[in-house]
Amino acid sequence: MPRNSSTSLSSCIVAPGTLNTPVVWGAESSATWEDLATGNIFHYRADDYRGRSVVLTTIDPFAAIAAMIQLDGVARRIVLYPPDLLFEHLAFVAETAAADFIVTDQPVPEATSSRMECIVPCGRKAAGEDVVSHTHNRASEFKTEWVLLTSGTTGLPKLTVHTLASLAAAIERKASASPSIMWSTFYDIRRFGGLQIFLRAVLTGTSLVLKGAKESTADFLARAGAQGVTHISGTPSHWRGALMSNSAHRIAPQYVRLSGEIADQAILNQLRLQYPQAKLAHVFASTEAGVAFEVNDGLMGFPADVLAQNPCVEMKVESGTLRVRSDRTAVCYLGRERQPLRDGEGFVDTGDLLELRAGRYYFAGREDGIINVGGLKVHPEEVEAVINRHPHVSMSLVRMKKSPITGAIVIADVVLKTPQSFPGGATQMQRNIMQFCRGELALHKVPALINFVPALAVAETGKLSRRYA
Amino acid sequence: MKARSEVIAQFTQVAREQNKPLAPLTDDLPLFDSGLDSLCFAIVVVRLEAALGVDPFDTDEEVHFPVTLGDFIGFYENAAK
């Protein structure tokens, strides 16, 4: 959809002044926003990307940032493929997004690479003529679709479409950059929570410290502390890991943000003790619903009047779940069998069950039974389908167990075909089934514990009885 | 002693399953230097509850996250008392 306004990401990059030039710090290197906006990372000319659909999947976050800045307003569609996602889904994602190009610094499976062009980003500071960088500070031509991946019931990712406007709607722009603010996040910037922090930094012209993919929590916190990070975000699980790393004291943030999972009282209390000077906020946001609201009173859940008093986001509770309507929600899903993302009135059903107690709402799990393991979603049905393929398994029920470390963890009740006659005993069979799952599933989806049960309850509908929440 | 040997056994087993190199398990070893990550610890905790019948994290009292392996073992030894 062509447009004339100049609100692309590259047009927001402010030319550096003489003092306090904002910098993006990675585990091994750094670059200014200006470098990233103008550096030549592609071998191709801008024309080659104009109006095209591009999948970004790089280990190097700088290549991804440069590509996001340079392709917004030029490409028709940018798909953010997180580097930790199994590469076997790349062909599906590329096809669903009608991708013309894949920008990657990893070897791509042949089945994918034969169907579309793979581009390896080159050195980011090489000067070049007639490259994408010439789009810098020029009115953008396309209202680029930003596609984020979320977990789907079948194991294939769901492609969720945003625009820069919807992603950035919750970000307060200031007239001038705030040199005293330095952002950081435990998230990868290709995931919604991390992308929010990346956009906050780039759109407000502040510095950003990124966690290296292989960097330990302790090393990251030491580096973030040395740089002087003031604002930092992560899931409650990231924060529990930080507290257990014995390095939480290495940073002295003014603002500590939690999102992506339910924040329980224990983690809020621990962070209050650790960072008494900081503003502590837990944020309700999801890839589909966008950023809905922030809670600042240090208590789990949120006051009931938050629903009615948010000037930017309309919210209501219907059939027990939170529904959100705002200019921050995603637009639609991509794909042939896509379901509608919004209802007839434009509300997104978050699927998060709420309970009202004494004037405060508390999250009580998921309507659809999705298990949130440290911010990564698991659909029980996907895991059951794998377990049920094991030759000794008759049927299985996958459910959530609360975890003090990752918020929740996956466990399974399994009915064996012949309970008494497997070799090596119960422990060996449990390990064997888990091993089988590790070959088929991402590690956070593999049951941590398997209980052998004689039978599973089946409801009137003929389906397994599930008790969510 | 049961708590100690069970904790060590679970660390060893989970490290093997997740292909993580495990540091020598001494009491002063910081947990996050052991080679295990958050997901591994979550697995260890749920299996210890199954094996020992206690979850020392599941309490209304203020829980301070253990930092060293010795702290972690102490958590389970105290909970079992």
pTM of model > 0.80: yes
- Specify the CATH number of the domain A10-354: 3.40.50.12780
pLDDT, tens only, A208-242: 999 998 899 999 999 999 999 999 999 998 998 89
* Domain segments of chain A as ranges: 10-354, 371-452
Least confident of A113-117, A373-377, B20-24: A113-117
Architecture of domain A371-452: 2-Layer Sandwich (3.30)
B32 touches chain A (CB under 8 A): yes
pLDDT, tens only, B15-72: 999 999 999 999 999 998 999 999 999 999 999 999 999 888 876 666 677 889 999 9
ipTM over 0.85: yes
CA distance B65 to chain A (A): 6
Question: Contact A444/B39, CB-based, under 8 Å?
Answer: yes
CA dist A377 to A14, A368, A399, A438, Å?
37, 11, 13, 16
Is the CB of residue A386 less than 8 Å from the CB of residue A436? yes
Mean pLDDT of chain A: 86
- Entry field: residues in chain B: 81
pLDDT, tens only, A145-159: 999 998 777 778 899
* Partner residue opposite A404 with nearest CB, options B33, B45, B62: B45
pLDDT, tens only, A289-333: 999 999 999 999 999 999 998 899 999 999 999 999 999 999 999
C-alpha torsion sign, points A134, A140, A141, A143:
positive
Q: Report, as an integer, the average pLDDT of A45-50.
A: 74
Residue A140 confidence class, pLDDT cut points 50, 70, 90? low
B27 touches chain A (CB under 8 A): no
* Domain segments of chain B as ranges: 2-80
Q: Which of the four CATH numbers 3.30.70, 1.20.1250, 3.30.2320, 1.10.1200 does domain B2-80 have? A: 1.10.1200
What per-residue confidence (pLDDT) applies to A461? 63
A449 touches chain B (CB under 8 A): yes
Residue A26 confidence class, pLDDT cut points 50, 70, 90? very high
